[in-house]
């Protein structure tokens, strides 16, 4: 049986895979079984910020693998303490909880908000969380409920209580929901990734912040996709002038290994106590050693490069034939095209470029350090695929 046939026979049928078997890679170049090379503008869906098999990250990970792999959370280990300190120092957040995925980071955020409400009001009646329509927060039952897209909800009910959905960029709608419910928090992505790479307006975010201050609601920012340099700052909230109460992240900070983090601000930093939350693999030394390396290299120089590459892509595609509009921030880019996004992705695949979709758009999430030559070549191929 071929790998594709074994996959079909033995793996749960949750992914519509492309007819390609990838076997190796370096940086922004991936290779398939036939030796064909692809320029990667997807980075494993915003994960490989320094591309595949990055030397420095590999060194950090293999050193740790050879030293101490897993201990459980019953003992202190250095990599997770170092990572938490680095994150707090660079974000102004106060404590970190480590899990294994974006969904788990958001689960933690939801639990922290609920426990904060319970401690404050002594009952469960003040725990509603406002999320935004068109959002995506994960696929566990609670994060699926938080996700404001009906398409993801079909066939998985009943859902958990305590979520209401506001129109993105509609402050009146957020105000209305805050009036009608006993809300503890507003949870949002600053650029809705899976929802089509839609950026929130700064005015809207400022309005939500003012409302949250007035109503004592927590602000939870989901930076699973926007985080870790992707939008041109370490975290997108830093560009919006926010001091969130909870920030969640995952994907890029793992550099290719699973990690999810909920960072807690001053108001909620002590909400979690021993026994209130946990996970076996959370804070795994190998994942954390790799993440320390990734985080230490997301510096001003890299962020300037992200901005320059972003400008280049916006300029190249802005007026390109077959392009209706370009949206996003930094190297998180959505392209609305005249042709179907799926056809463009398939044409790019044939021509040796990997791109993604987000709803009806073509989505780009390249490695942040992709070489200029590779980027220019890939964008030229993408433009060709969009135009033809």
Q: Which of 79, 99, 138, 283 binds ligand PLP (CB under 6 A)?
A: 138
CB of 283 to ligand PLP, least distance (A): 16
Cα–Cα distance, 247 to 79 (Å, whole number): 20
CB of 249 to ligand PLP, least distance (A): 9
Q: Residue 184 belongs to what H/E stretch? A: strand 183-188
Q: Which is nearer to ligand PLP, 100 or 293 (CB)?
A: 100
Tell which phi-psi region holds residue 338, choosing left (phi > 0), alpha (psi between -120 and 50) or beta: alpha
Q: Which of 40, 107, 189, 374 binds ligand PLP (CB under 6 A)?
A: 189
Cα–Cα distance, 73 to 71 (Å, whole number): 7
Q: Which of 225, 233, 284, 310 binds ligand PLP (CB under 6 A)?
A: 225
The torsion angles phi and psi of 132, rounded to 5 degrees, stand at -105, 145
Question: Bridge partners of 133?
Answer: 148
Told to check if 220 binds ligand PLP by CB under 6 A, we report no
Cα–Cα distance, 112 to 187 (Å, whole number): 12
Cα–Cα distance, 112 to 169 (Å, whole number): 25
x/- site string to ligand PLP, residues 238 to 277, per CB under 6 A?
A: ------------x---------------------------
Cis before 29 (ω within 30):
no
Q: Name the DSSP letter for residue 73.
A: T
Q: Which of 40, 107, 222, 374 binds ligand PLP (CB under 6 A)?
A: 222
Told to check if 193 binds ligand PLP by CB under 6 A, we report yes
CB of 225 to ligand PLP, least distance (A): 4
3-state secondary structure of 249: strand
Q: Name the DSSP letter for residue 365.
A: -
Q: Which of 54, 107, 194, 374 binds ligand PLP (CB under 6 A)?
A: 194
x/- site string to ligand PLP, residues 80 to 119, per CB under 6 A?
A: ---------------------xxx--x-------------
- Interacting residues with ligand PLP (CB under 6 A): 101-103, 106, 136-138, 189, 193-194, 222, 224-225, 250
């Amino acid at each position: 049986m071929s790998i594709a046939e074994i996959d079909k026979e033995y793996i749960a049928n949750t992914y519509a895979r492309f007819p390609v078997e990838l076997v190796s890679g370096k940086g922004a170049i991936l290779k398939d079984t036939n030796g064909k090379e692809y320029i990667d503008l997807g980075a494993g869906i915003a994960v490989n910020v320094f591309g595949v098999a990055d030397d420095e990250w590999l060194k950090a990970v293999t050193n740790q693998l050879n030293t101490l792999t897993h201990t459980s959370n019953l003992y202190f280990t250095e990599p997770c303490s170092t990572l938490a300190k680095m994150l707090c120092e660079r974000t102004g957040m106060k404590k970190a909880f480590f899990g294994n995925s974006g969904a788990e980071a958001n689960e933690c955020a939801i639990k922290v908000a609920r426990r904060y409400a319970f401690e404050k009001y002594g009952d469960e009646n003040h725990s509603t969380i406002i999320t935004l329509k068109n959002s995506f927060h994960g696929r566990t039952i609670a994060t699926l409920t938080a996700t404001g897209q009906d398409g993801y909800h079909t066939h998985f009910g009943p859902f958990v209580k305590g979520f209401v959905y506001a129109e993105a960029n509609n402050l009146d709608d957020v105000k209305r929901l805050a009036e009608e419910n006993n809300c503890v928090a507003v949870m949002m992505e600053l650029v809705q990734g899976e929802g089509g790479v839609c950026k929130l307006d700064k005015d809207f975010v400022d309005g939500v912040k003012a409302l949250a201050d007035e109503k004592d609601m927590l602000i939870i920012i989901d930076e699973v996709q926007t985080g870790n340099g992707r939008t041109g700052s370490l975290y997108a909230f830093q560009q919006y002038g926010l001091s969130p109460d909870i920030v969640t992240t995952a994907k890029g900070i793992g550099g290719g290994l699973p990690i999810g983090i909920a960072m807690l601000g001053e108001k909620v930093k002590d909400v979690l106590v021993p026994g209130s939350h946990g996970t076996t693999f959370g804070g795994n030394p190998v994942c954390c050693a790799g993440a320390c390396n990734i985080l230490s290299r997301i510096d001003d120089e890299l962020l300037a490069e992200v901005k320059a590459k972003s400008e280049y892509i916006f300029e190249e595609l802005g007026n390109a034939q077959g392009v209706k509009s370009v949206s996003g921030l930094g190297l998180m880019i959505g392209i609305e095209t005249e042709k179907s996004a799926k056809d463009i992705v398939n044409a790019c695949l044939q021509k040796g470029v990997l791109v993604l979709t987000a709803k009806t758009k073509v989505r780009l999430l390249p490695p942040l350090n992709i070489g200029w030559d590779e980027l220019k070549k890939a964008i030229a191929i993408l433009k060709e695929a969009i135009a033809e």
